[in-house]
Amino acid sequence: MVKWQGRQGSSNIEDRRGQGSSGGSGGGGLGSNPFGQGGGGFRLPSGRSGGGLGGLAIIIVFIIIALAFGINPMSILTGDTSGPTTSSVLPPQNASEDELAQFVSVMVKDTEDYWGEYFSAQGQTYAPPKVVLFSGQTSSGCGTADTASGPFYCPNDRKVYIDLGFYDQLRQQFGAPGDFAQAYVIAHEVGHHVQNLIGVLPEFNRKRQTMTQDQANAYSVRVELQADCFAGVWGKGEFEKGFLESGDVAEAINAANQIGDDTLTNNTISPRQYTHGTSEQRMKWFQQGYTTGDPDKCDTINGPI
């Protein structure tokens, strides 16, 4: 169990739970086209930013390809590998979910502390992401977020979106219980925010526009593995601060194992379609981060993976 009770939470939590499909943000110029912002987030299980006509054209191509493969286009856009899931019903907002919300808030604060110190040591300032908790559906700078989207990072509005109901899915459907597994998910999404700040995501979203789908998928895997590595680096910081107990790290590694593309799809899709990496790769890069505690040792973009 992570030691989080009684510790301070983040002031960057946007709690939209209970607002249901009405959303909370007012839509921020999404208009009638849910993909209008060149959207698509960066999710646990990729994304894009930018937009413009080139971006829109790519998105349309993505949708066509997705439909050809029988995949929900939104899943491709947002990089979700969890696939369509259940429940348009609003989960009850109960005490345990409030506790979960508090846990998330403390973990987010811990990521702010870690990355704040890291950026500061580089002579830079860390601008943390907002973390949106929602239930059912909400609007984002990358289109509508819903329960089936899974957690994701949207570079357009620099926010992490998470439906706390995902954690039930993580535990039950993906077989990844434990609070540090939950923390890993947050740290991975925050890792995408760090990638956005250091230019990795913008470069990815620029380059992928001229890539084939296979090339973009392979690039996406590298980006995702770096987010896993950043999550591991943060995890090391948690350990050093005395917040972890025996078994916590194993929970995160198990989660990385369970959400590898090969495991998630039961080896039913071609590795060319992988966007997040195999279980082996995801475990390896989380561990690489955790072992080294050094973001500079997370070069999955150019190095061998």
Q: Which of 130, 277, 283 is nearest to 193 (CA)?
A: 130
The beta strands (E) that lie in 86-221 are given as 130-134, 137-140, 143-146, 152-154, 159-163
Which of 179/261 has CB closer to Zn ion? 261
Q: CB of 67: closest distance to Zn ion in angstroms?
A: 23
Q: Report the residue number, 224 or 251, with the smaller CB distance to Zn ion.
A: 224
Smallest gap from residue 192 Cβ to Zn ion (A): 6
What's phi and psi for 159, nearest 5 deg?
A: -130, 145
Which positions lie near Zn ion, rule CB under 5 A?
A: 224, 227
Q: How far is the CB of 292 from Zn ion (least distance, A)?
A: 20
Q: Which is nearer to Zn ion, 41 or 243 (CB)?
A: 41
Count of all residues that appear for the chain in the document: 305
The type of residue at 107 is: M
Q: Which of residues 142 and 243 has its CB atom nearest to Zn ion in the complex?
A: 142
| Shortest distance (Å) from residue 68 CB to Zn ion | 24
Minimum CB separation of residue 70 from Zn ion in Å reads: 23
Q: Which residues contact 37 (CB under 8 A, 6 or more apart)?
A: 28, 29, 30, 51, 141, 142, 143, 156
Which residue shows structure tokens 């992570």?
2
Strand partners, 224: none
Q: Which is nearer to Zn ion, 46 or 105 (CB)?
A: 46
Nearer to Zn ion, 113 or 224 (CB): 224
- Residue closer to Zn ion by CB (options 227, 249) is 227
Return the number of the residue (97 or 107) whose C-beta is nearest Zn ion.
107
